[in-house]
Chain A
Amino acid sequence: MRRAGEALGSMSGQAIEVRTPMLRRCSAADVVAMAGGAEAVVAAVYVGIKGSLQGHALLLLSPTDAHRLAQILLTGLLEPGELPAEAPSDPLVFDELELSAVQEAGNVTISAFLNELGMHLRRPVQPTPPQIVIEMAGAILDGVLMDLMSTVDEVLAARTTFTEGGREIDGTLLVLPRADSLSILLDALGALGI
């Protein structure tokens, strides 16, 4: 997960601190709780995982932090007059530029993590194109949980949080493998020293 932090850091030009991931066996309700609760509104970047490891990855940010991250990423690319307003009246409203910036940040972060996994697996792990959704966390996650839990009642979740130096952006990276990919993931995490 360190590599994922570096990837985001090089994109934003800021120091990113990624904490040690926690690996937990979870019920559906546990996964929803990890995302802040079913009704908590989050900005989520979703990437499906295909290839030798199958599953789902999500980068979750509070709407306020998603606006801050977009601001950091777009500063330097745009003239001050072109930047989205720093403090929108409704934090749930994002313009296309902000959505695209946050989606790309999520994509880069998740892809860096998956690339590292793939290197240790010595098999390709392919991300699907990213998708960004601003929604209640429960609503975002239940489709993922359905895909994972049709035959089992628990999933394995790898979760880490990160902080972007000075700007106080907290994010959660959630990786949820399919049951039949679990042993592959555990081997890879062991190789990463997690």
Chain B
Amino acid sequence: MTATAAPTVLVASIGEMVFSSDPDSCLVAYGLGSCVALAAWDPSARVGGLAHFMLPSGPSNGSGPVKFIEGGLDNFLKALEARGAQPSRIILKAAGAASMLAIGGGLAIGTRNAEKMQAGLAERGLRLTAGALGGTAGRTVQLEVGDGRFIVKSLSTTTEL
């Protein structure tokens, strides 16, 4: 380890989660459409996690740890705790759940993802402190592990939540 090491970027691909306690690292999920990225940061333990959820629920055999919000939320929170984060301290922020293509006739899948995320957190006594959910724009999100900043970029805007 050297003091001048370049910041480490850990990428959460679709259905995957990443964690870090390295203050020089950042956790990224690229090109979210209807998917939802959930960022968790513990300001005391200085540990962060980012999960890239795909669907509200489904069969779990052979799937990635966070392909589904149902079941995946527990996998993510347990892995965070194993790294020293405390559920009572973590700051949760989320982005995604957009709807851009006219697929299927029913409720847009992005909306179902957003609702499942909110409900799943509420069941565990948790809530989002900030969120950029819904709309029609794609998003790339970045969690800075050093200070917990959560940056959401679309093609036209960059905002910090």
13 CB-based A-B contacts, threshold 8 Å = A32-B31, A39-B31, A46-B101, A92-B155, A139-B32, A139-B98, A142-B32, A143-B34, A143-B110, A150-B55, A150-B58, A151-B58, A153-B67
Looking at the assembled complex, report how far the CB atom of B138 sits from the nearest CB atom of chain A, in whole angstroms. Answer: 3
Interfacial residues of chain B within 46-92, with CB under 8 A of chain A in the complex:
54-55, 58-59, 62-63, 67
Q: Is A169 in contact with chain B by the CB < 8 A criterion?
A: no
Tell me what chain B mostly uses at the interface: helix, strand, loop, or mixed: loop
Q: Are A137 and B31 in contact (CB under 8 A)?
A: yes
Interfacial residues of chain A within 1-55, with CB under 8 A of chain B in the complex:
28-29, 32, 37-41, 46, 48
Q: How large is the interface on B (under 10, 10 to 19, 20 to 34, 35 or more residues)?
A: 20 to 34
Looking at the assembled complex, report how far the CB atom of A106 sits from the nearest CB atom of chain B, in whole angstroms. Answer: 13
| Chain B residue, CB-CB nearest to A46 | B101
Q: Are A147 and B109 in contact (CB under 8 A)?
A: yes
Chain B residues whose C-beta falls within 8 Å of the C-beta of A102 in the assembled complex: none
Cα separation A48 to B101 with both chains bound (whole Å): 10
Which among A41, A142, A153 is the interface contact of B33 at CB below 8 angstroms? Answer: A142
Q: Are A146 and B34 in contact (CB under 8 A)?
A: yes
Q: How large is the interface on A (under 10, 10 to 19, 20 to 34, 35 or more residues)?
A: 20 to 34
Looking at the assembled complex, report how far the CB atom of A80 sits from the nearest CB atom of chain B, in whole angstroms. Answer: 30
Tell me what chain A mostly uses at the interface: helix, strand, loop, or mixed: mixed
Interfacial residues of chain A within 133-148, with CB under 8 A of chain B in the complex:
133-147
Chain A residues whose C-beta falls within 8 Å of the C-beta of B62 in the assembled complex: 153
Chain A residues whose C-beta falls within 8 Å of the C-beta of B31 in the assembled complex: 32, 37-40, 136-139, 142
| Chain A residue, CB-CB nearest to B29 | A38
Q: Is A149 in contact with chain B by the CB < 8 A criterion?
A: yes
